[in-house]
Chains A and B, each alone.
Chain A
Amino acid sequence: MTPALKVENLVTELALRRGVLRPVDGVSFHVDPSETLGIVGESGSGKSMTCLSLLRLLPKPGGRIASGSVVVGGRDLTRLSEEELARDWRGRRISMVTQDPMTSLNPVYTVGDQVGAPLRYHRLAEGMRAVRAGAAAVLGRVRIPSPESRLDEYPHQFSGGMRQRVVSAMAIACEPEVMIADEPTSNLDVTIQVKMIDLYRKIQEETGVAIVLITHDMGVAASICDRIAVMYAGRIVETGPARRIFRAPAHPYTRALLDSIPRLGRKSRRLTALGGQPPDLANPPTGCRFAPRCALRVAKCAAYPPDAALGEGHSAACWLAGNEADHAA
């Protein structure tokens, strides 16, 4: 199967006063049609910068893609002119949902205007009547009840959960091949969050869209993702099928992360805490970036470990990965 999105060796640089940072430092992954890839990591791991890089929405001035490729539909998005990217790709074939629906919706335009905007811009509907009908149809697809009657309402007339549905409607309006969702449920209460996750699953079943879900919440990742990539300090340290990541994590960071989460139904007085802090990206360790916090550190870790293939598309960037004797120790 040709992947819907293929990213190879992506390096993004941010020029700041204190020097040039590489928040994304050699990231590769792919997503197939009808598949959800979760990119999980903590703040500063580079997960949000990765998704901004995919759409070339990096902060200006200062942000740039230094090398690597982002391929959708046979074209490398990093090589397109800004004009062509905006006209034929961004929002049309690869779209994005951000975390906070309050800042991604314009308070002075009606919801119908905003959901219709991508249809108008990409010329998928001509004329006011067609755009309105199109916008209503898209709102229906995100399960907003009686969509026609809500087209003329403003964002503040929608509840938090309904607003996030409107933002998602804008993202799927042009039926893109790839949708990037950056923490789409983090601001929502759990009872609303579970409904959003259910909605994404239904949209994917209906349209076959490939979803890249950025999250810090391992619970959210487990409940929707087919595959998971774990990021740490600008690099993907482990990637594989969701079940493998949760049942048989191979990278010490992934294990530490999973061990540190309290779980329902398993009460214990102490959690297994991960000590230390993530490294400063202005001055990252030369070898494995997790080594300074790693309990299993060995001499070899002074050099960056290659990705060890563990079968079934599971791999981990750790010298010890695949060497189960070491894990047992």
Chain B
Amino acid sequence: MLLEVRGLKKHFPVGSGLLGPSGLVKAVDGVSFGVEEGKTYALVGESGCGKTTVAKLILLLERPTAGEVLYRGTSVAGLSGSALGFFRREVQAVFQDPFSSLNPRLRVRSIIAEPIRANENIGRAELDRRIEEALDIVGLPKGAGALFPHEFSGGQRQRIAIARALAMRPKAMVLDEPTSALDVSIRAQILNLLSDIQDEFGVAYLIIAHDLALVEHFSHDTGVMYLGAMVEQGPTETVFGNPQHPYTEALLASAPRPDPDHRPTPDVILGEIGSALNPPSGCRFHPRCPHAFGPCAGTDPAPVDTGPGAWARCHLLTENAMEKAE
């Protein structure tokens, strides 16, 4: 496993009174998964489910409250000096909004050069070669290096952000909603580019996305998050082809499809997403679940295997498994 998280938790204190914080937002509350070398792992879920916080924890932009992030089997929490530099070089990020992730005062050349200069001691000629190479891979003309970000369209800016990440020759990239800010016709270009990069350089991706069709198309493994916890995960074909958790089912049933004969079903999920400040007891999804029954409000269900490498946390599955055992 190239990149792994184990029992990851991130709690944010909220409110500040004389007596200290008045509550805890459990943004991420015990999440574990792994990204294999050269493969894509997708985290899906609605806003507030904690998927972006997981990305920040992996990128060391936040420190976990508990649990650990492992890179090539070593915990990254204790890294310092050259080992930390190595990790930061090998794991790069591309963010959602290419309008705010690129410094408007720098030319594209400097934007791409900055992380290389910060991490490596290389000469001018080698630096130029690396920049040109990165621009070439993402399909931008040589002259692009001399221009400023505002001279590019949204899709091209996202290419610049990808070039900046690629110039470090990373082994893994965290992609946080990489195409959400782009127009529909441009999204396919960027997704194809990312696929090509993976095929050619064997880069592993952790993609955060809310568009399920995109995730099914793009990722090898998928984890579904709800209110800070993973409710189902496994190979993408298993999760999408045979969803076992009612929340995964609801997401798939709600997704609008470009097909006038398909009517999304509004009744598979009740109410609105709960609060991570006061997550519901037991299974976090039970207040919205149309199948909720006896044990759901009381205890958090344990993971039940749902296929090779796949599991889901739901009392319905636990019950079925017990009936089979009897």
Contact = CB atoms under 8 A, between A and B. Distances in A.
Interface of A: 42-43, 159-162, 189-195, 197-198, 216-223, 225, 242-243, 246-247, 256-258, 260-265, 267-275, 277
B254 interface: yes
Contact of B256 (A197, A273, A275): A197
A222 B258 contact: yes
Contact of B217 (A160, A194, A217, A268): A268
Given A216-B183, A222-B258, A264-B255, A161 B189 contact: no
B188 A273 contact: yes
B187 interface: yes
Interface of B: 46-47, 153, 155, 183-189, 191-192, 195, 210-214, 216-218, 236-237, 240, 250-266, 269, 272-273
Contact of A264 (B46, B212, B266): B212
Contacts of A219: 255-258
A195 B264 CA distance: 9
A264 B187 contact: no
A260 B187 contact: yes
B218 A190 contact: no
A271 B264 CA distance: 24
Contact of B257 (A161, A263, A272): A263
Contacts of A220: 256
Given A191-B269, A262-B218, A277-B155, A222 B257 contact: yes
Given A222-B262, A246-B260, A257 B185 contact: yes
A198 B263 CA distance: 10
Nearest to A277: B153
Nearest to A192: B272
A219 B252 CA distance: 13
B256 A223 contact: yes
Contact of B213 (A197, A225, A263, A272): A263
A190 B260 contact: no
A25 to B, nearest CB: 19
Nearest to B258: A218
Contacts of B153: 277
Contacts of A43: 183
Contacts of A195: 266
9 contacts: A42-B184, A189-B210, A189-B273, A190-B46, A192-B272, A193-B256, A197-B264, A258-B258, A267-B217
B192 A271 contact: yes
A222 to B, nearest CB: 5
Nearest to A293: B185
B59 to A, nearest CB: 24
Nearest to A253: B185
Q: 3 tightest CB-CB pairs across the interface, nearest first?
A: A219-B256, A262-B217, A273-B188
Given A189-B210, A222-B256, A223-B262, A216 B188 contact: no
B264 A194 contact: yes
Contacts of B236: 267
Given A222-B257, A243-B260, A273-B188, 13 more contacts: A160-B272, A189-B46, A217-B184, A222-B262, A223-B264, A246-B258, A262-B211, A262-B216, A263-B258, A264-B240, A270-B195, A271-B217, A274-B186
Nearest to B275: A159
A88 to B, nearest CB: 36
A312 to B, nearest CB: 14
Contacts of A257: 184-185
A303 B254 CA distance: 43
Contacts of B261: 243
